[in-house]
Structure 1
Amino acid sequence: MKSTSRVRKSWPFERHQAMNPTTRRAAARPRYILFAVLVLACVLCAPPAASADTVQITPANEHRLQELVAERNRLAAQNPTQLSAGISALFLHAPYGANTLVGSASVPEQLVVELTRVDCFTYADYVEALKRSSDRAGFLAQLTQIRYRGGDVSFTQRRHFFTDWAADAPVNATDVTASLGAPTEQVTKMLNLKDSGDSYLPGLPPRSRTIFYLPSARVSDGVIANLRDGDYLGAYATASGLDVTHVGIFLHTPSGPVLRNASSLRANNQVVDTPLREYVDTVPGIVVLRPIR
């Protein structure tokens, strides 16, 4: 559940010419300025990476990250159009692990990399970050962008709610729920605000959010046919203050459409493939976000 688990980057050809020391310095100056401008542009365009003192990663997770990046690069070389399926499969049977992130209103936020156990939303974080990166530095930079608004590693800027992925810049995904071929319901909620007036996450201000969801009874075969591999599906939450209660990755498989997800159910307690129709029948509805990459 989101509220408890996250709460969950050759110079142009130049003709050679003879120059005395004075003309050499004069000619070099504009080239130096151009070089400095280009370097600055590269720095400004690259996604910011978390500083070393904000990254929390154990030796075991460092080793696992190396394995995952190597396998990701192999998959990208073999079948780049199937990265979502291939990368998400690398986590199949990984143990479910809640409350792995560090940070609160009173505890400094850290960029946690915990790949040996995942909850439903950190699983989505890691799959999406691996899709976008080919080395350790790239993974950390992308994870920072995916998990935090503006890449700011702080509790208040963490994307605590699933729909934050489509609502907050830089967006990770587009909400396609209303374009799947069936009428949706629209609800405006104050995220993080309980009916009692308390917060699910103390220290995080409530935010108004209009949520579009597709009731489960309307998830027809036609709707499923409009889903794409790698779409992120959230189980709509009827409770005030929440957008979804669970998140998974949609995939077409030889055995049919599935929701690949980190399940906390006692019968699973790991990353599993759940038949989509079977899962949809257990929830009020779905919210569908499509990754931008």
Structure 2
Amino acid sequence: MTSYLAAQGKPVAELSPGSEQRLDRLLTVTRRTTDPVSRSESLSREFLGTPYRANTLIGSADVPEQLVANLEQVDCFTFADHVEAAKRATTREEFFAALTEVRYRDGAVSFANRKHFFTDWAATSPPVATDITASLSPDAVAVHKQLNQKDSGGWYLPGLPVVARTVSYLPSDRVDDSVLAGLRTGDYLGAYATDGGLDVTHVGIVVNTPQGPVLRNASSLPADMRVVDTPLREYLGTVPGVVVLRPLR
């Protein structure tokens, strides 16, 4: 598989045997499930219990970027883009093509083109998702940010430009029953960042269950350190607000 992609001119990191096995299971789920909502729930469920690990991607301003699919260890962002890519694929070739589209602008594998910010999924063309935050409630707040530029000075991602963007978020204390009713399984929910250089600090996938909505997420909390389902009402009490993106597929 990686040889095939290398022949297409894509710098691809080798898949581990464990990642190969999980990818095959994910593709089986996609082939058996036609409804996008069911696909999102079933694919994301495959990751429950997966260990949390940050910094699995390869690439920086000084290190050449590689297309990495570490399906055995994920952080909140790689969990989301692996699920989104798997929704769009029934073969390994299609998965890597979809991962390239989801993770990079213009399908070009490079650190500069990586979609580093959550709202890039809605702001870049073609979009991966639509930002529905403001449509969920009239209480949504729009904030003008300079993404990548820390309020305290310096940059989150050295070597990359500052991105001016208006980010809408819904304060957590304004997320009432009507807002929760407007969320669908498969929506991507980000924890709003108060720092002007970030849009969100954490990302997960909304899953509606008979017991109420949960945030399926790769949690770095010491008590978790794995992909877990966190009751959404409980999670809202720990963050200042939320940004919600609805996938287009």
Scaled by the length of structure 2, what TM-score is found?
Answer: 0.94
Find the counterpart in structure 2 of residue 71 from structure 1: 29
Q: Distance in 1 between matches of 2:94 and 2:47?
A: 19
Pairing 1:60–2:22 present:
no
Return the letter of the residue paired with 1:185: V
Identical pairs, percent: 60
Q: Which residue of 2 aligns with 1:135?
A: 91
Partners of 1:199 and 1:262 in 2: CA distance: 25
Within the alignment, does 1:258 sit opposite 2:240 as a pair? Answer: no
- SS state at 1:241 partner: coil
SS in 2 for 1:143: helix
Query: How far apart, in 2, do the equivalents of 1:150 and 1:212 lie?
Result: 25
Would the aligned equivalents of 1:182 and 1:223 in 2 still touch at CA under 8 Å?
no
State the SS of the aligned residue for 1:245: strand
* Cα RMSD for the two superposed structures: 1.4
How far does residue 81 in structure 1 lie from its aligned partner after superposition?
4.5
Structure 2: tracts of 5 or more residues without a match: none
The alpha-carbon distance between structure 1 residues 169 and 256, as it changes in their structure 2 partners (threshold 3 A), is same
Q: Residue type matched to 1:268 in 2? A: D
**1:255 deviation in Å?**
1.6
Equivalent residue letter for 2:29: E
For 1:108, what is the secondary structure of its paired residue? Answer: coil
Q: Normalising by the residue count of structure 1, what TM-score does the alignment of the two structures yield?
A: 0.80
Structure with higher helix content: 1
Paired residues in the alignment total 243
Deviation at 1:59, TM superposition (A): 3.1
**1:77-132 deviations in Å (ceiling 9; x for gaps):** 6x664111111101011111110000000000000010001100100001001111
Quick one: structure 1 residues 80 and 162, their matched pair in 2 at CA, closer, same or farther if it must change by over 3 Å? closer
Matched with 1:180 is 136
Q: Show the 5 A alignment for 1:66-145.
A: 66-74=24-32, 76=33, 81-145=37-101
- Describe the superposition over 1:249-290 as per-residue Cα deviations: whole angstroms up to 9, x where unpaired: 011112211101000001111111000000011100000000
Shift of 1:66: 1.6
Distance 1:88 1:240 in 2: 30
Distance in 1 (CA, whole Å) between partners of 2:26 and 2:101 is 19
Residues 174-224 of structure 1: per-residue CA shift (max 9 Å, x gap)? 000011133211111110001243111111111001000000110000000
Which of residues 209, 226, 229 in structure 2 aligns to 1:270? 226
Superposed, 1:210-225 pairs within 5 Å as 210-225=166-181
Letter in 2 for 1:66: D
Q: What amino acid is the match of 2:24?
A: Q
User: 1:53, CA displacement in angstroms?
Assistant: 5.2
Q: Unaligned 5+ residue runs, structure 1?
A: 1-48
- Deviant stretches of 4+, over 4 Å: none
